Amino acid sequence: MAVGLTGLPQLYPVSGIRLGTAMASVRKKDRRDLVVVECIPGTQVAATFTQNRFCAAPVTVAREHLGKANPRALLINTGCANAGTGEPGIEDARACCAALAKLIGCDTSEVLPFSTGVIGERLPRERIIAGLPACLANLNDNGWAEAAQGIMTTDTVPKGSSRKTGIGSHTVTVTGIAKGAGMIRPDMATMLAFVATDAVVTPMVLQTCVQTAVNQSFNRITVDGDTSTNDACVLLATGTAGHAAIDRVESAAYTGLLRSVTEVFMELAQAIVRDAEGATKFITVEVSGGKTEADCLAVAYTIAHSPLVKTAFFASDPNWGRILAAVGRAPIAQLNVGKVTIHLNELCVVRHGAPDADYTEAKGLAVMRLPEIRIEVELGAGSVAARIWTSDLSHDYVRINAEYRS
């Protein structure tokens, strides 16, 4: 069960956005697996995509279309990633975009495709195209919750977040959904995340907003260290809120919008870790006292990616030596082990490179049994800090991924 997640929060409608879902039997019957997000004309878009060089066909097509026109619709399917499929996969993605464009009366380049699921299989485009009329019939500005369910794969719960903020005398809404539970080390975005706002924003400022928010959220999570072929994070701005356009990152309006977007991104990113495949622990890794942010992140990710560390957390075993060893092998140029201090929540386990005098196994066990744990590492080399979020590694993670295609 997802750690600390009890269900979707209230998801506010975003003026100019409607969402519809359908059961297209992409991989399994009787489940939502096809989503259309309709945007009003003039909607601005900014996005980040996977850095995996085997990027999926929909990523390639979406990038092409982003360079040609503003979007009128997003087309999202689960059950098939349409990755590792070569030129036929590109043709399948384009055909689905063309079919939706014809139904809503826009150019094919105004449709952005997104897929998630099994890699290496052809997209069942006939089933997807056949499901499009049902999606359009269900278009609704309150369709966020159903869409959150429609983009799930191994997720156990739908993931969403919503905020309202003031810009001048106007109220601006930011609402988003995401999916992801395994193959999570985004390096640019997440498995899939779709966020919309009614703010009035110029394209360049919107892209800056996305990149800044992603770097503090989706680029700070890891479940298993695997970067997907299909990662994408999209921010739509319909421009219907009525305030003056946000055209400078130095403005108070931009600061307010960035704050809300970052909060939504961060809540979605953390929800992905909380619902990681088989997760029983939500773990925050904070590294401070580094010379550079890169050093701090290198230490944090070395801890977070260690199978020995992750399995110890699953077992609630206070084997802090595994954390110490991970810090020691992190790929940073210099490390003075005599200055390293490590805490588990408020409990100091290592002080200046040696066991803390007040540490006991019983105290460590009490912390490790908690569902949410914070690892704090002080390097003593500078003043820079960084934070990431990860999960433990359980029997269920192995089972889920062993049975993924069955």
Say which of 43, 153, 154, 190 is annotated catalytic.
190
Question: What was the pLDDT predicted at 1?
Answer: 63
Q: What is the mean pLDDT of residues 266-272?
A: 97
Between the alpha carbon of residue 153 and those of residues 6, 77, 202, 364, the distances in Å are: 18, 10, 34, 36
Q: CB burial class (10 A; 0-12, 13-18, 19+) of residue 329? A: exposed
Q: What is the CATH number of the domain that holds 372?
A: 3.10.20.340
Q: CB burial class (10 A; 0-12, 13-18, 19+) of residue 219? A: buried
Is 190 a known active-site residue? yes
Query: What's the pLDDT tens digit per position in 220-241?
Result: 999 999 989 999 999 999 999 9
Indicate the pairing of strand 192-197 with strand 372-378.
unpaired
Picking from 161, 263, 214, 236, the residue whose alpha carbon sits closest to that of residue 48 is 214
Q: What is the mean pLDDT of residues 285-293?
A: 98
d(CA 190, CA 219): 8
26 pLDDT higher than 80: yes
Lowest-pLDDT range of 110-114, 365-369, 399-403:
399-403
Query: What's the pLDDT tens digit per position in 131-179?
Result: 999 999 999 999 999 999 999 998 999 999 999 999 999 999 999 999 9
Rounded to 10 deg, the angle between the 252-274 and 203-215 helix axes is 40
Examine the domain organization and report whether 255 and 329 are in the same domain.
Answer: no
Instruction: State the CB neighbour count (10 A cutoff) for residue 163.
Output: 19
Instruction: Provide the residue range defining the domain that includes 206.
Output: 17-274
- With a pLDDT cut of 90, the percent of the chain lying above it is 92
189 pLDDT higher than 80: no
Question: What was the pLDDT predicted at 400?
Answer: 85
d(CA 394, CA 398): 7
Question: What was the pLDDT predicted at 406?
Answer: 65
The CA-based angle 48-51-54, given to 5 degrees, is: 120
15 pLDDT higher than 80: yes
Examine the domain organization and report whether 254 and 299 are in the same domain.
Answer: no
52: left (phi over 0), alpha (psi -120 to 50) or beta: beta
Examine the domain organization and report whether 145 and 260 are in the same domain.
Answer: yes
Q: What is the mean pLDDT of residues 364-379?
A: 98
Examine the domain organization and report whether 28 and 114 are in the same domain.
Answer: yes
273 pLDDT higher than 90: yes
Full-model pTM: 0.96
403 pLDDT higher than 90: no
Beta strand spans in 168-207 (E): 170-179, 192-197
Examine the domain organization and report whether 266 and 339 are in the same domain.
Answer: no
Examine the domain organization and report whether 62 and 92 are in the same domain.
Answer: yes
Q: What is the CATH number of the domain that holds 104?
A: 3.60.70.12
pLDDT band at residue 191 using 50, 70 and 90 as cut-offs: confident
Examine the domain organization and report whether 270 and 288 are in the same domain.
Answer: no
Examine the domain organization and report whether 344 and 228 are in the same domain.
Answer: no
Q: If residue 134 lies in a helix (H) or strand (E), which one and from where to where?
A: helix 125-137
Picking from 162, 188, 156, the residue whose alpha carbon sits closest to that of residue 278 is 156
Examine the domain organization and report whether 205 and 293 are in the same domain.
Answer: no
Question: What was the pLDDT predicted at 405?
Answer: 79
- With a pLDDT cut of 70, the percent of the chain lying above it is 99
pLDDT band at residue 183 using 50, 70 and 90 as cut-offs: confident
Number of domains in the chain: 2
Question: What was the pLDDT predicted at 188?
Answer: 78
Examine the domain organization and report whether 108 and 63 are in the same domain.
Answer: yes
Decide if 9 is inside a domain: no
Instruction: Check if the beta carbon of residue 268 is closer than 8 Å to that of residue 160.
Output: yes
Question: What was the pLDDT predicted at 152?
Answer: 94
What does the DSSP 8-state code read for residue 232? E
